Amino acid sequence: MSLLEVSKLTHRYPSSSSELPALNEVSLAVDADTVTAIVGESGCGKTTLGRVLSGLVKPLAGQVLYDGRDIHQLPRTDWDAYRRNVQIAQQDPYSSLNPGLSVRETLRPGLLRHRIVPRHQVPSEILRLLELVGLDADPRFLRRFPHQLSGGQRQRLAIARAVSLRPQLIVADEPTSMLDVSIRVSVLDLMKRLRTEQGLAYVFISHDFGVVRYIATGGRIVVMFFGEVVEEGPAEEVIRRPQHPYSYLLLESIPVPDPRTARQRRSASVRAVEERVEQPPSATGCIFSNRCPFVEDACRVARPELTEVSPGHRAACLFPERVPQLPQGLQADVTG
């Protein structure tokens, strides 16, 4: 079931030096109770999309429909409910947490303002939330300030704050990219557990396909390139049989710990694309054609539409049959 229907979102920042919009006619559905992972390189519009979905940025054109209604047309009380129902967890919890507020004061105001529990139950609810996210539920910890917490503890606190309002959806924008690898996995595991226990949906934003495949099991993957969706579909299918060359190349470049495999993985096509990374996207043809290792003349003429390649799986490629299958070993690796 769709929680949000996103229709032809276009956004451009007035101060941007880029000719290209940050988002260009992005349409997709965000399902309830599941993960919709947005993946793509830096600058492709992931954060802008996340901010539009959470209502923090009003797009220049297009709509975000919630229960069939445009969120920017909602009456005040429904808008407040939407903002509570859709929480955001950001890349750098240090900048999103108020440095002057203790752990207790980070969690308390939201619980009171939105009357999540009766006033007298707020202290016990704070302790319950800390336990839920694996933080110390003791008085000394409650008095700590963000600068006295580790990176992992800060992100757990930011997650606790988001979950405290009992939202339907959390937009998680690169929530683990600033954490050490060992801590990263534990925070991802926490997010997975919370999702099933609390019946949450996530829009999970990342530039790292390795992280995306870890969190998006059973959900959907949306691949973006320069403000456009180039592929979207069920996570396992996008990973096993990518239908857009860009998705294929992102998957093929997932780093793996074994240096021998990592060497094998940097195939000729990945190296060729890396050499062309500075090329601006084509203005008229397929947006990926200037970097595509499988490009044909036709790709430089017109921009392909997102087209269904199998039920619920769409790709914007004129020649999806040219996208190779991932090598067997790598497939086993990326499907984990």
Nearer to ligand ATP, 50 or 320 (CB): 50
By CB under 6 A, residue 95 contacts ligand ATP: no
Nearer to ligand ATP, 8 or 271 (CB): 8
Residues 25 and 3: their CA atoms lie apart, in Å, by: 19
- Residue-by-residue DSSP string for 162-215: HHHT--SEEEEESTTTTS-HHHHHHHHHHHHHHHHHHT-EEEEEES-HHHHHHH
To ligand ATP, the closest distance from the beta carbon of 38 in angstroms equals 8
Backbone angles phi, psi at 107, to 5 degrees: -95, -30
Using CB under 6 A, pick the residue from 15, 77, 182, 328 that binds ligand ATP: 15
Segment contacting ligand ATP by CB under 6 A, of 8-16, 184-192, 260-268, 326-334: 8-16
To ligand ATP, the closest distance from the beta carbon of 110 in angstroms equals 26
Binding string, residues 260-299; x marks residues near ligand ATP by CB under 6 A: ----------------------------------------
Nearer to ligand ATP, 173 or 333 (CB): 173
Nearer to ligand ATP, 205 or 235 (CB): 205
By CB under 6 A, residue 207 contacts ligand ATP: yes
Describe the crossing of helices 151-164 and 103-113 by its angle, rounded to 10 degrees. Answer: 10
To ligand ATP, the closest distance from the beta carbon of 11 in angstroms equals 8
With CA atoms as reference, report the closest residue to 117 among 109, 129, 125: 125
Nearer to ligand ATP, 105 or 208 (CB): 208
Q: Which of residues 48-87 bind ligand ATP (CB under 6 A)?
A: 48
Q: Residues in contact with ligand ATP, total (CB under 6 A)? A: 14
Q: Which of residues 138-157 bind ligand ATP (CB under 6 A)?
A: none
Strands 201-206 and 35-39: parallel
What ranges in the chain are assigned the alpha helix state H? Answer: 46-53, 76-85, 93-96, 103-113, 122-132, 139-142, 151-164, 181-198, 209-215, 235-240, 245-252, 259-265, 268-275, 328-334
Task: Write out 270-307 in H/E/C secondary structure.
Answer: HHHHHHCCCCCCCCCCCCCCCCCCCCCHHHHCCCCCCE
Q: What are residue 64's DSSP bridge partners? A: 6
Binding string, residues 16-55; x marks residues near ligand ATP by CB under 6 A: x-x---x-----------------x-xxxxxxx-------
Q: Which residues bind ligand ATP (CB under 6 A)?
A: 13, 15-16, 18, 22, 40, 42-48, 207
